[in-house]
Amino acid sequence: MEASEPKFEDSAVPVTSTIRALEKEIAHPIVYQLVRSRLVPATQDEIMVVEDLLEDDKCESKLVPDTRQISESCVTEGYPLERNSFQVTEEKSNVLVDSVPDLGKIDAPNKVAVHGLAPLSELSNVDHSVRNDVCSHSQDAPNEDTPSTSAAGSSWKPDFSKLEGKICLDDLPVKELQETFKATFGRETSVKDKQWLKRRITMGLTNSCDFSCTTFIIRDNVVVKKGEEQICHREKSRISADSEDGVANLNSRGSFSDHDNKINDAADLSGADVSSSALESCNVTKDLNAEQITAKRARKPTKRYIEELSEIESRETSEKLASPEKIPRYQFACPETHIRPTKNVRSYARPLVTRQDSLGGSGVQIPFVSRIRRSRPRENFMPLLKLQPSGMDMATRQVRSAFDISGPQEDDKRNNDLIKTSSSTGWTEQPRIAACEKDEHSSGMKIVELENDVEVNDCSEDNSDDNVVTVPTQKGGMRRKHHRPWTINEVVKLVEGVARYGAGKWSEIKRLAFSACPYRTSVDLKDKWRNLLKASFVQLPAEKGILNSRKQASVPIPAPILSRVRELADMQGQIPPVLSVCKSSGHSSSDRSVHEARSGFL
């Protein structure tokens, strides 16, 4: 034990400049005091720094398996810590060491425990008065934990009233855990993972000054009351007195902030929020992967993971914001949680809009993730149409479309026109296809007319979707972020390509017909064909209604094309199983007539 103490000094973890700055800024020794600060999306670099930090620290933690040492070291320094009261078991130590202690140790020598990481660089935004307040409080009256609340007005407090008696986190159902989570962090969580919840709660409590004021201790995921000691009267009384309202209120707050905005303003963030959030951001990676493997830290799926989570969150958020106009922001109307309005509701909460993410509903601050719209921003057709005329007026274009079959670059635009503005130019393409088809039917020949197009036309889509087509992936690969809607033109090219080179020769088709379309890989072609095939056979029976039918959300593929697709499929023996089964159910070799008859039946 004693020997380990020097370690803190010796093995001082590589501290980032930001941390140094922090230390400098916060001269007062505070241990595990909650620092309110503003969280801002961290840059990738910052994240990396943190990760490395943790990583390094991790190694160190092995040298200091028992977190008690931290406390002791601190005590030795002459700063009694509330945390001393913690009876941390070896198992628990994992958790602790895994998270807060990492930071705690870093700062231990200075008796400054930082809860947040993200805020590091932004600490300048911390309300100094508040901080000082905090310091003084913690020095003479550690129990008095009213750091942020006062000034900020955000007065969330852990509702430990819920911890009366003992609680065995292991036994609690998810639901209960979520409740506990709520009580602990003052906000809702939608996380279902028990491990995660338990861990989070444990950490939350363990690191909470408030909790330390209580007589509870945590042992093996069990919160137990330990003897009678003086409690944080103020807190206790306040909470117990207005426990319910408090919770409700808090919930509303939590939900609010989680959904609408991850409060930008520091003043609105309760210390707990910050701490947990910060912690979260630190442990995000670890928590997820290896819940059990606490010892081993999987330093992985950060970006991707975060990204995915963000998406989920994003979804949730957007859902909740479904009717933003209807629900004034300041009404803590949360669809999913029945929050009864209370007198405590702060009506002055400002409607803040930030892009701060919350992780898994726990209100975690997510480093940074470019949240690009999944769905395309509505194409650029319109602007394109709007702009085009300048160079070539509609009339001209129409004429061209109509007559110049192989209009070099116009094909796509024509198609777009056709799609978007079902007006003027609309008919141009249709007839062509139809004609083509007819031609084919009668002569049994393949496309002749469109041949040029297929070869010549390029995918002038480029300009319609230059929008970050691909995004780097962890795996190093590039994955297409947005779906690139297939234009009629492309479909036609694909169909023609299949007709000419045969289905399966995606590579060929790609090279010959889609050389101008860098996106559209052979796989894409294949996929598209697969879809076309499906669509064609699905819609074939009702082919008539396709064109006439009500407009579909997604640009419907002209019946003629589907028709053709089916035909090609038929010719190339690509008849969908379902149909082929029925078709061939009768005879092994059914002739044309039979086939037609049967298909007609179907």
Partner DNA sequence: TTTAGGG
Partner DNA sequence: CCCTAAA
- Residue numbers at the binding site for DNA (CB under 7 A): 470, 473, 475, 477, 479-481, 483-484, 486, 503-508, 519-524, 526-527
Find the shortest distance in angstroms from Cβ 295 to DNA. 27
CB of 539 to DNA, least distance (A): 19
Burial of 11 per CB tally in 10 Å (0-12, 13-18, 19+): middle
| Cα 296 from chain centre | 25
User: For residue 587, what are its two tokens?
Assistant: 């005879």
Which among 70, 103, 81, 84 is positioned nearest to 29, based on CA atoms? 81
Number of CB atoms found within 10 A of residue 507's CB: 14
Q: Which two tokens stand for residue 450?
A: 């469109």
Residues 153, 125, 349: CA angle, nearest 5 degrees: 30
Nearer to DNA, 288 or 533 (CB): 533
Structure tokens, 133 = 């307040």
Least separation in angstroms between residue 456's CB and DNA is 22
Do residues 310 and 369 lie in contact, with contact meaning Cβ atoms separated by under 8 Å? yes
Sign (positive or negative) of CA dihedral 17, 18, 23, 25: positive
The nearer residue to DNA, 220 or 308, going by C-beta atoms, is 308
Of 209, 220, 219, 205, the closest CA to residue 163 belongs to: 205
- Cα–Cα distance measured from residue 143 to residue 459, given in angstroms and rounded to the nearest whole number: 69
* DSSP state letters, 249-303: HHHHHHHHHHHT-----GGGS-HHHHHHHHHHHHHHHHHHH-SS-TTS-----HH
Nearer to DNA, 43 or 473 (CB): 473
Q: Quick one: which of 329, 365, 325, 326 has its CA closest to 349?
A: 329
**Beta-carbon contacts of residue 152 (< 8 Å; ≥ 6 apart):** 36, 127, 130, 266, 267, 268, 269, 270
**In a 3-state reduction of DSSP, which class is residue 167?**
strand
Q: How far apart are CA 94 and CA 290, in angstroms?
A: 12
Nearer to DNA, 142 or 497 (CB): 497
Q: Which string of DSSP letters, residue by residue, matches 223-253?
A: EEE-S-----HHHHHHHHHTHHHHHHHHHHH
Structural contact between residues 354 and 308, judged by C-beta atoms closer than 8 angstroms? no
CB of 487 to DNA, least distance (A): 11
Residue spans of alpha helices (H) in 410-456: 410-420, 426-443, 449-456
**Cα angle, residue 269 at apex, residues 67 and 223 outer, rounded to 5°:** 40
Of 330 and 501, CB closest to DNA:
501
Q: What's the one-letter identity of residue 295?
A: A
Q: Which CB atom, from 3 or from 553, has the smaller least distance to DNA? A: 553
Q: How far is the CB of 412 from DNA (least distance, A)?
A: 15
Q: Determine the Cα–Cα distance for residues 57 and 347; give it in Å rounded to an integer.
A: 43
Contact between residue 288 and residue 301 where contact means Cβ atoms under 8 Å apart: yes
Find the radius of gyration of the CA atoms of the chain: 32
Nearer to DNA, 168 or 581 (CB): 581
